[in-house]
Structure 1
Amino acid sequence: MNTQGPEMLARTPPAQERGSGALAVLAPWAWPALLAAAVWLGLFYNLGAIPLFDVDEGAFGEATREMLARGDYVSTWLNGQPRYDKPILIYWLQAASVRLLGLDEFALRLPSALAATAWIAAVHAFTRRVVDRDTAHAAAFIAATSAGVVVIGRGAIADALLNLFLALALFDVYRELVDPRPRWRRRVFLWIALGVLTKGPVALLVPAAASALAFGLQGRMNGWWRAVRDPVGWLILLAVAGPWYALEYAARGDAFLAGFFMRHNVERFLVPLQGHAGSPFFYLPAVLLLVLPYTGLLLAALPGVRRMRTTPLDTLLWCWFLFVLGFFTLAGTKLPHYLLYGATPLFILMARRRHALRSRVAALWPALVLVAAVAILPLVLHHAAPGARNPYVREALSRADVFGPAWHAQAIALLACVVLLMLWPERPRTGGPWARLVAAALACSYAFGGLLLPAAAELQQGPVKRAALLARQAGWPVRSWRINVPSFSVYRDAVTPATDAPRPGDVILTRSDALDGLPSPVRVLFREGGVLLVRIEG
């Protein structure tokens, strides 16, 4: 057995990764303050101030609302129909939050924001033990301000919680790799079990495959097999995850197997579901976007793959990321956030290479592109919307009221800040490009949480929310026609069934591009951004 604990191995990075003490000018309390600011800006600022974002947030939110309304804490339902997309844990957490705080956007998103915060804290704690304190600060800060983490950490979905459990599992895999002990491997089984309760088999696949690759490259396959065959570990996994799967199968039978395992896992890998196809190179640009504003730093860190067998830490981190990249590249269904299952090792690898950035331009051009894109977004939509062929898209993008003077002023101020960071001359003890990137990342977090996501949510879901509140106030029974917006049911606080045959007297929720398919005449009760409530006259 290795007599060195996992905290002692890989403690000192290679000399080219240690740098020269960037940000050394900061007081001892500065990094905790920076991390707190990053977490608040990235995950909690304006968390409950914007409508539920896109179909996924609405679906999770409505399934949670129906769970509470039905008193059924085993099976999930969406607009009165069984929902097999995800296991139960995130719904339980959202239901607890709603019970405590009431049904609103903040309560539905809070479990994800807290899970993302715990994920960032786990990155910090692990990196501090196996590398050093300064690298831990950097890795946690990168995680807290990366675009992908900000987006999923603010969403009422399962992905932030899954990433927390994946990170905890693979951190303990590393401990088992360098210092085999029953407690490490059994904790791995516990984190996997919680992940399986969060999103299913992927929580078992990623740690199992990444660890097999790492143990194999380190010549430790016998140790991997010994850990995998641990009977106590399997008992932990079955005791934690097994009861819900057994209860759900007892309630739903073969429909659960077909809906959850076959369609949403096997079929999702084999073929594109819901139109989410992509080329074999789909995830190459996706990873550059998910780590914004650290794209330049990622490019600087990628050559480190040549040293992936140098230390057990390098081996595990690279195997973790490369397996996720390879597996989801082969999968038929491609979504950008799938790559986040392999983002945790990138945060650590980038933090170790943070001083490899020798140029302000190399460090800051991604941040500049990001804030510039946010600043010109209203202009782009203004010119693109009139040319959209689809009437729903044209109406949705033509709402000039979304971008007011305050929005424009903040966008221009953020752009000016990043430009100033790029152009300001170097001074002694200013910390170099890495310190500038830290400041730019905070600006980018505000651009995401304070400007971009609120604008996108308002364009997409603001009219849906106002239509639902109107229908709730009026007491209208509503059916949906050729529109998929589960958030409408959340805001209306009632199931909104779909209809294939609208009848006279029905109040119908629909889109402007589906209006011609309804029986005439119709009376428009609400119309905004391409979203309509109409009553069919007859």
Structure 2
Amino acid sequence: MGAREHGGLIGWCRLLFTDILFPGKADADTRVRRLSLLLVLLLPAVLLYPTRGFHLLEPDEGRYAQIPKEMLVNGSWVVPTLQGEPYLDKPPLMYWLTALSYRAFGISQESARLVPALCVHFTILAIYLIGRRSVGERSAFWAAMLLSVAPGFVSVARLLLLDGLLVLCVTTSVLCGFEAVRTGKLKRGWWIAAAVASGLGFLTKGPISEVLLFVPLWVYGFLMRGGERQPNPLTPFPKKEGGTEPNTTNAMQPGMVLSPSPFRGGVGEGLQTQPAPAVVRWYWYLTFFGVVFAVNLPWYVAIYFREPQFLKYFFWEHNVMRFLQPFDHLQPIWYYVPILLGGLLPGTLLFAAYFWRLLRPAPGDSANRSSAGGFWLLTGAWCAFFFSCSGSKLPTYVLPAYPFLCLAIGEFVARTKWNTAFRTRALIGGMAALVMVAHYVAVPWYARERSPFGRPELVERFVSDHDVAVVCFPRNCDSLAFYHDRSDMRNVRTKSVNQLMVDCHHRPRTVILFTHHDSLQGFKNTLPPSLEIVETSTLKRKGKSSLLDKFAGATPWGLCDVAVVVPKYHVPPRDGAE
């Protein structure tokens, strides 16, 4: 007797997924339509590529622009550096790609943002070109359109962060992995492609790509293979002709899952069949991780010999401990709910209709919900759940959930009246117009207002002389190093303020960039009599009254004040001093 016959919890979970929520078959039409492909190529291109020239946003964009610049200038392709010091927080794939962009197109903010823009575009293309194989061309097209205009995805993932590249790797890995197992027989080429994409994700941000891939594949296989031996207990077999015994001949074929033709409530007359996913043998897992290791091992071995502390620092402190015992970015468990609701617009409105149909299906609705669509919903939910469980949270962490949720919504749109509804096109067109205005007007204005170099006259005169030392206190302002070629700039933390005082004694002039609101005043309070501040400049805006001024903030991100410090009497330079 199987679990489903007993009606146990496991059996009912399988019944709920395969027979009630997602009993239908995917659209069989997977042909690429030229017009659809043209739209998938053009719409993201218009939103992404011409809008890369706004100021770098501190602190992340400045940091991720400066690291590959130093890598290219210094030729240090193994050990990433920031201000000349090893920067070991993340693996180097994003830095390598950005450095190659610099080499091809020159060092600029436009070249720096080309890599994330391409990653966003390739993710949308992958959703259409690979996603159509599992849910049909129409579903994949609508998913790509929704993803192209989702502000939480297209406007954020294009920033110079690691998350856009990670999303491309995770999305490609899951798409290929699902395609490898979807039809019941493992497709080796797709499996290897999934491993390559997963390995590149590992080289971008660590083992997160493997976690986001395997859990939904395992859960989906567990749910779908639950019906291989036992029929649906709620659907009676027809009786044998002339008798009272049920006719169970050919009731179930190996590798298939029974599900009823739906009616309201999800269980009805007749039976359909869906293929259970392939069982992945242990040697194919070895092959998968062998490919991942082949992609990653050369660099990890090289970095270990040059910076032995990297492995513990990165894997333990920046992966395990940030998940379990975070030291920053603390947020409640529901933090990503409003982010996803706002970021998925206009898909959020369609998502509400989608869930209503799941809970209150009309006659015939269930036939339009395929197990593949269920897998994409499951995968998106897993991504959101996993990052919600993390102690450290940032809005960009949940970006991998967007493509999979859009695939689930796309199938709903394509296979219901929403496919031809004017309001669907109006929602997508209206959001595309809003995103375009944001990318072409609002974001450049906001970046200029929040950039330390939005008003260059306040800063440039202090940092243009390369014979004068420049120090950031107590945090980095890396966009300054990027724009003014000040790779000699150094950062001093609060705990090292006494050493900063000593260094100022041995220099004729030191420019200090204060990156926190109260840092200048605190520095003045600890300034010894032998040092004096001869000039200051504040970046704080005065006379702020309008709503736009309040939205832009009182000071730029990453820089609040500038001060010039000189010793009252000269102290001879120390050996090795700057």
Q: Same fold (TM over 0.5)?
A: yes
Q: Supply the AA of the counterpart residue of 2:306.
A: A
- From the superposition, tell whether residues 430 and 183 of structure 1 become closer, same or farther in structure 2 (CA, over 3 Å): closer
Instruction: Tell me what 1:119 maps to.
Output: 123
Offset of residue 91 of structure 1: 0.6
2:36–2:141 Cα contact (<8 Å) kept: yes
2:217 is equivalent to residue 188 of structure 1: no
In structure 2, how many angstroms separate the alpha carbons of the residues matched to 1:305 and 1:195? 33
Offset of residue 175 of structure 1: 1.6
1:308–1:314 Cα contact (<8 Å) kept: no
User: How many equivalent residue pairs?
Assistant: 445
2:308 is equivalent to residue 262 of structure 1: no
- From the superposition, tell whether residues 235 and 139 of structure 1 become closer, same or farther in structure 2 (CA, over 3 Å): same
* Secondary structure at 1:534 match in 2: strand
In structure 1, how many angstroms separate the alpha carbons of the residues matched to 2:415 and 2:375? 22
Considering fraction of residues, name the structure with more helix.
1
Once the two structures are overlaid, the 10-residue window that deviates more, 211-220 or 94-103, is: 211-220
In structure 2, how many angstroms separate the alpha carbons of the residues matched to 1:525 and 1:116? 42
Instruction: Tell me what 1:535 maps to.
Output: 564
2:161 is equivalent to residue 157 of structure 1: yes
- 1:456-495 alignment runs, 5 A limit: 456-463=446-453, 466=456, 469-475=460-466, 476-495=468-487
1:76–1:84 Cα contact (<8 Å) kept: yes
Instruction: Tell me what 2:281 maps to.
Output: 226
Match of 2:291 among 203, 218, 236: 236
In structure 2, how many angstroms separate the alpha carbons of the residues matched to 1:111 and 1:524? 40
- From the superposition, tell whether residues 331 and 138 of structure 1 become closer, same or farther in structure 2 (CA, over 3 Å): same
Cα displacement string for residues 165-196 of structure 1 (whole angstroms, at most 9, x for unaligned residues): 11111112222222322222222211111111
- From the superposition, tell whether residues 526 and 358 of structure 1 become closer, same or farther in structure 2 (CA, over 3 Å): farther
* Secondary structure at 1:45 match in 2: helix
Once the two structures are overlaid, the 10-residue window that deviates more, 282-291 or 229-238, is: 229-238
2:374–2:408 Cα contact (<8 Å) kept: no
> Structure 2 length as normaliser, TM-score?
0.71
1:482–1:510 Cα contact (<8 Å) kept: yes
Offset of residue 37 of structure 1: 4.5
In structure 2, how many angstroms separate the alpha carbons of the residues matched to 1:234 and 1:37? 36
2:116–2:161 Cα contact (<8 Å) kept: yes
* Secondary structure at 1:474 match in 2: coil
Offset of residue 308 of structure 1: 12
In structure 1, how many angstroms separate the alpha carbons of the residues matched to 2:358 and 2:76? 48
- From the superposition, tell whether residues 308 and 349 of structure 1 become closer, same or farther in structure 2 (CA, over 3 Å): farther
2:437 is equivalent to residue 447 of structure 1: yes
Which protein shows a greater Rg?
2
Q: Supply the AA of the counterpart residue of 2:310.
A: F
Instruction: Tell me what 2:572 maps to.
Output: none
* Secondary structure at 1:280 match in 2: coil
1:480–1:509 Cα contact (<8 Å) kept: yes
Instruction: Tell me what 2:215 maps to.
Output: 209
Offset of residue 432 of structure 1: 1.4
- From the superposition, tell whether residues 523 and 96 of structure 1 become closer, same or farther in structure 2 (CA, over 3 Å): same
**Percent identity, aligned pairs only?**
24
Q: Supply the AA of the counterpart residue of 1:298.
A: F
Instruction: Tell me what 2:206 maps to.
Output: 200
2:512–2:564 Cα contact (<8 Å) kept: yes
Q: Supply the AA of the counterpart residue of 1:266.
A: V
* Secondary structure at 2:451 match in 1: helix
In structure 1, how many angstroms separate the alpha carbons of the residues matched to 2:42 and 2:460? 34
Cα displacement string for residues 104-151 of structure 1 (whole angstroms, at most 9, x for unaligned residues): 101111011111111111011123333333333221111111112223
2:324 is equivalent to residue 295 of structure 1: no
In structure 1, how many angstroms separate the alpha carbons of the residues matched to 2:206 and 2:376? 23
Instruction: Tell me what 1:437 maps to.
Output: 427
In structure 1, how many angstroms separate the alpha carbons of the residues matched to 2:61 and 2:367? 38
Instruction: Tell me what 1:51 maps to.
Output: 55
2:406 is equivalent to residue 347 of structure 1: yes
Q: Supply the AA of the counterpart residue of 2:471.
A: R
- From the superposition, tell whether residues 80 and 90 of structure 1 become closer, same or farther in structure 2 (CA, over 3 Å): same
* Secondary structure at 2:214 match in 1: helix
Offset of residue 465 of structure 1: 8.0
1:309–1:315 Cα contact (<8 Å) kept: no
In structure 1, how many angstroms separate the alpha carbons of the residues matched to 2:37 and 2:141? 8
2:389 is equivalent to residue 330 of structure 1: yes
* Secondary structure at 2:200 match in 1: helix
Offset of residue 453 of structure 1: 2.0
* Secondary structure at 1:494 match in 2: coil
In structure 2, how many angstroms separate the alpha carbons of the residues matched to 1:344 and 1:338? 13
Offset of residue 11 of structure 1: 2.0
Cα displacement string for residues 309-343 of structure 1 (whole angstroms, at most 9, x for unaligned residues): 96431332122112112211111001122211121
> Structure 1 length as normaliser, TM-score?
0.76
2:182–2:277 Cα contact (<8 Å) kept: no
Unaligned 5+ segments in structure 1 are 1-7, 14-27, 360-428
In structure 1, how many angstroms separate the alpha carbons of the residues matched to 2:292 and 2:367? 30
2:27 is equivalent to residue 11 of structure 1: yes
Q: Cα RMSD over matched residues?
A: 3.0
In structure 1, how many angstroms separate the alpha carbons of the residues matched to 2:355 and 2:64? 36
In structure 2, how many angstroms separate the alpha carbons of the residues matched to 1:224 and 1:477? 62
- From the superposition, tell whether residues 278 and 358 of structure 1 become closer, same or farther in structure 2 (CA, over 3 Å): farther
* Secondary structure at 1:523 match in 2: strand
